[in-house]
Structure 1
Amino acid sequence: MKKRTLAALLGTLTALSSVAPTMAQAAENTEEYTVTFCRTQDSTMESDIFSILKDESYEDNRWTRLIADRLGINVKYLWIAPNEEQQTQKFNAAVAAGTIPDIVCVDKLTLKNLVEADLVVDMGSYFEEYASDLLKSMIESAGEQCVQACTFDGVQYGIPYVDCDIETAQMLWLRQDWMDELGLEAPKTIDDLKGIMDAFMEKVGDGAVGMALCNDLYGNLMDIKGFANAYGAYPRYWVQQDDGTLVYGSTTPEMKQTLEALADLYQNGYLDEEFHVNDGTKAAEDLVNDKCGVLYGWHATALWPLQDNLNQNPDADWRPYQIVTSEESAEVTPGINMMTSSWYAVSSECEHPEALVELLNLYCEKVFDPELNEYSYYANPGDGLEGVWRLSPVSLNSPDKNQQTAKAIAEPLKTGDPGDLYGEQLSMYEYSKAAQDGDTTLWGWNRVFGEGGSQMLLIDYENDENVKLVRDQFYGVATETMSMRKTTLDTVLDEAFIKIITGQTTADEFDNVVESWYSAGGQDMTDEVNEWYQAQQ
């Protein structure tokens, strides 16, 4: 069986959501018309697809032929840019000329600019009228924020390329084989976690690191977000206060408490002395080389860097745990934010705006409908042929695809019978089963989708009454002050945070730097965010 890379799998996971029926087969459309698009070349498509499918190209392939046959739509690319830089240049030129392609996929700032230039149409009514139940259920399952983010002055100008918000939640990864050997139980509090670090470091001896941390303080792994959540701190999130207003999470008293706790860890040798200059690859060396057994990370941490540890030491094992709390009785409060970052929009010059919805309906039918079971042909045929779904001019995620996969394969993994699993669910069953049967090269997949894996932990986060998810409340377009000053303002905070953690200054400096932050533009940014927030209520 060919193993998939992390990038390939995370880009093509399309396990099924079971909440929507198959799209009804419409009467053949006798009217033919052309719909224009643009795209950037994908270098991996040449090796993954075109080198195998000799009779298929961007302009003529199984998807474009299906679209022509079923919908009467001829797909035409106004340009296929060789790279992102040229794509941006060509798109900006088209905007300046007022001649964008009929259907585009853009970020929220670009969408706002298109709206202000009167270059895109209201898609709300078209979506309501034409969207299949399956498409509607997928958009709805991503939450209201992704639709609100493409709504301006009450008008929905886009259709979100939905993604999974719960997968932004942090979790604690621990070296399970050491936990078992030392007779340690799952930690509930920061003190419990420190006890585990003590035990691990004593076991490792020279060169031991208590908790992995790198210089990206807010990345997906080896960062401070999950640790901060224990104290009710949410750096770089906009969180709601008791009075209903939003405050920048990096400036709260809880953040000061977090920094004091991290400074204590640093002073007592739990953190690498050079963490603030080590990138993720460098910081991961302690994990891979059996020098560290604790880190905060995201749901895919098992795939990297922890799989590298198993590749070097097949006896190693890791498990994800809920993030801990600062006090015994406190709620577990992981932070999450809107993962959706792209939206489809339709040019005001397009004669058939409903085409976008019909194309998305068709994509969902072929890739996600469990009754038709056409995933293999239109998405991932397998046997070395990867990512055929990328030939479609439009595509979509199922926001809870990974959680649905974990649920679907749970019982088959116990019985050893895949039953009627197909598509990505079948692949993940096969990977996890092989790992359970001793293939350590596939260990990471089992720790994502198998029993006790990260997807099951995310499901627990959603269902556990002792867990309260705290959401970043700002999902709008960057405000004026954000656009001009946020990067600089964040840098000022981060430099102070590093100095506090490493003992170059005391935690009292936090109050001074926050005061300076507000004076240098933070107050204006906060006012703008709250003005936006009140408009959403």
Structure 2
Amino acid sequence: MKTTAVSLFLCASIVLSLAACDLYGADEGNQFSATYHAGDSKDEKDSNTYAHINDDGPFKKYEKPITVTLGRQGIAGNNLPNGDTLEDNEFLKYVEDRLNVNVIYEFSIEDVDDYNQKVSLAIANNSMPDMMVVNEQQFKEMAGADMLADLTPFYEAYSSPLIKDYYKSFSDDRVLNTGRIGGKLYGLPNTNIDGTYQLLWVRKDWLDKLQLKLPSSMDDVQAIARAFKELDPDQNGKSDTVGLLGDKQIVGDAEFFTFDPIFNQYHSYPKSWFKDADDNIVYGSTTPETKEALMKLRDMYKEGLIDKEFLTRKWQDNAALVSGGRAGILFAPWFAGWMLADSVKTDPKAEWVPLAAPLDGDGKRNVVPSAPSGTFLVVNKHAMHPEAALKMLSVEYEGIRLIDPKSHELYKDEIVSWLNYPLNVQLDFQDSLARDIPIYDKVLMDNDLQDMPARLIKRVNAILKNKKEPKQDITAFADSLAYYTGGAVTGTKEITKVDPIFYGTTETMVKKGTSLDKLENETFLRIITGAAPIEDFDKFVSTWKLSGGDEVTQEVAASLN
């Protein structure tokens, strides 16, 4: 995410970007407004059974104190109370006390670029601490330099069932395998959950005023954008409303206002890698389908169906159009509910609905799932206790997910970021968002919170409060609109996942990726806005190939062998 405002909404919802969410604290006590998920995916009532496991593995306390050293990214704007610090706080002490571990931070650096520079220096000097979280390129470099401990023999014995269940929820071990090299586990990857693709959010109260139906097709989207721009949907007698909002980034996972769903409707998947019908490896931004989608966007922009000023607007500008009642149709993920709720302050009758749209000719909303992982917890090859990484992570998540009753008292009734736990590794079930919807449905039906997982109590109370008194409490309304209304749509039958063949980064991507991305984005924007003819797309494809794209394609092919 590219703005602190967007990051705030992300941090209030799910685990997506450690760097972004360092800017803020958290909600619900420990975790990003925290999506606490504990327990077996088949039965939430058994969610607390993890806490009762008492074996010689993940929860076994060391008989004598041990010391582990960490290097980690700090927390910008940390909101710890009472003079607590990242190096001295209740979350850290909770892990230390349960395992008899003394954690020493060798370094803690807030700025992500400075942190990466420090990690690179540690790699160059072969001076890494016992543990730290690194990105993909750093992980591969450290593994290639034989700096990392092989965690294979420790994973089964020292990972809690919850940690294992998180990884198992991703089919075919596709997340855990990103931490394996040559069949050996050298890094514990974070997990990115499903559902961060864009939904179509529409002001239903405006549709009702204009006697329009909920959209499903691309034609419907265009008709509504046209009506919202031209027919005075707010009935204030002024020509002050816009059509579809846009963003100059054009596409991006978990982004607001981008045009991903329009590309996807044409079976175009920019910035992703696939195999075509002839089994050739293809970059999604260079396909004929992408050219077709660009022509559609060009036509829409020319007609004014897309906000004519989207090139110059920042994220905050678009959010202001929403809150000010000037925009009523946009693409954004489920957690946009927090932003959209602001419009109720201006117009209490504002009613936003999320939809899996536009659908393709087969009635499908095609989506590209998020990259399964992107960062890795690694352990120094010479660490005295490599298994401590798995034990600490296991204990930490008993606290983050409020499984251990003792964790309920940590910063009780205070908003403190979960990142103050020692290991800033984001883990969750792949379907974490969708699996909670039946719980909300049941609670709304019988108004019974008995046996409710502790992680959900605050959120469920917000949903119940909003049901009883709709829109009276904006915070409760926003939570309900995001977690419940928006979250439910991410699991609808129309959603069809189109899995890329490759998510990673190659050597040429690192060297030439910035220039290639710039070439792509500038060309696409010029085509959409009419500053360049559609024929420039073919020139872009040729230039992209000659400027490094062919090398990247070869590297992607080699990585799959």
Same fold (TM > 0.5): yes
SS in 2 for 1:320: strand
2:35 to 10, 14, 35: 14
Q: Distance in 2 between matches of 1:255 and 1:188?
A: 21
Aligned equivalent of 1:341: 374
Aligned equivalent of 1:155: 184
- The amino acid across from 2:520 in the alignment is L
Aligned equivalent of 1:521: 548
Return closer, same or farther for 1:64/1:283 CA change in 2, 3 Å cut-off: closer
1:300 to 315, 335, 347: 335
Cα deviations by residue, 1:361-383 (Å, 9 ceiling, x for unpaired): 2123333365x4445234x622x
Following superposition, the deviation at residue 458 of structure 1 comes to: 1.1
Cα deviations by residue, 1:80-118 (Å, 9 ceiling, x for unpaired): 336445434443333232221111111111111111221
1:430 to 457, 461, 464: 461
Q: Distance in 2 between matches of 1:260 and 1:159?
A: 43
SS in 2 for 1:168: coil
Q: Distance in 2 between matches of 1:251 and 1:310?
A: 41
- The amino acid across from 2:409 in the alignment is Y
Following superposition, the deviation at residue 222 of structure 1 comes to: 0.8
- The amino acid across from 1:428 in the alignment is R
Aligned equivalent of 1:447: 481
SS in 2 for 1:99: coil
Q: Distance in 2 between matches of 1:406 and 1:189?
A: 26
Aligned equivalent of 2:139: 111
Kept in 1, the 8 Å contact 2:129–2:380? The answer is yes
SS in 2 for 1:315: coil
1:387 to 417, 425, 431: 417
SS in 1 for 2:307: coil
SS in 1 for 2:68: strand
Following superposition, the deviation at residue 347 of structure 1 comes to: 0.3
Kept in 1, the 8 Å contact 2:377–2:425? The answer is no
Kindly report which structure 2 residues correspond to 1:400-439, keeping only aligned pairs within 5 A, or say none.
Answer: 400-436=431-467, 437-438=469-470, 439=472
Return closer, same or farther for 1:369/1:66 CA change in 2, 3 Å cut-off: closer
Q: Distance in 2 between matches of 1:259 and 1:385?
A: 44
- The amino acid across from 1:416 in the alignment is N
Q: Distance in 1 between matches of 2:446 and 2:246?
A: 39
Aligned equivalent of 1:236: 271
Q: Distance in 1 between matches of 2:10 and 2:376?
A: 21
2:343 to 306, 309, 321: 309
- The amino acid across from 1:520 in the alignment is S
Kindly report which structure 2 residues correspond to 1:62-461, keeping only aligned pairs within 5 A, or say none.
Answer: 62-81=90-109, 83-143=111-171, 144-164=173-193, 166-201=194-229, 202-204=231-233, 206-219=239-252, 220-304=255-339, 306-327=340-361, 329-368=362-401, 370=403, 372-378=404-410, 381-382=412-413, 384-387=414-417, 390-393=420-423, 396-399=426-429, 400-436=431-467, 437-438=469-470, 439-442=472-475, 443-450=477-484, 453-460=485-492
Q: Bigger shift: 117-126 or 279-288?
A: 279-288
- The amino acid across from 1:210 in the alignment is G
RMSD between superposed Cα atoms in Å: 2.5
Count residues in correspondence.
513
Q: Distance in 2 between matches of 1:28 and 1:109?
A: 34
Following superposition, the deviation at residue 520 of structure 1 comes to: 1.9
Q: Distance in 2 between matches of 1:43 and 1:18?
A: 31
Counting aligned pairs with the same residue, the percent is 24
SS in 1 for 2:543: helix
Q: Distance in 2 between matches of 1:261 and 1:152?
A: 43
SS in 1 for 2:220: helix
- The amino acid across from 2:12 in the alignment is L
Following superposition, the deviation at residue 321 of structure 1 comes to: 0.1
Kept in 2, the 8 Å contact 1:163–1:398? The answer is yes
Aligned equivalent of 2:29: none
- The amino acid across from 2:420 in the alignment is R
Cα deviations by residue, 1:253-306 (Å, 9 ceiling, x for unpaired): 1101101111111111111222222222223333233222111111211112x1
Return closer, same or farther for 1:174/1:420 CA change in 2, 3 Å cut-off: same
Q: TM-score when scaled to structure 1?
A: 0.88
Q: TM-score when scaled to structure 2?
A: 0.85
Return closer, same or farther for 1:157/1:308 CA change in 2, 3 Å cut-off: same
Return closer, same or farther for 1:349/1:315 CA change in 2, 3 Å cut-off: same
Q: Distance in 2 between matches of 1:502 and 1:59?
A: 51
Higher helix share goes to which structure? 1
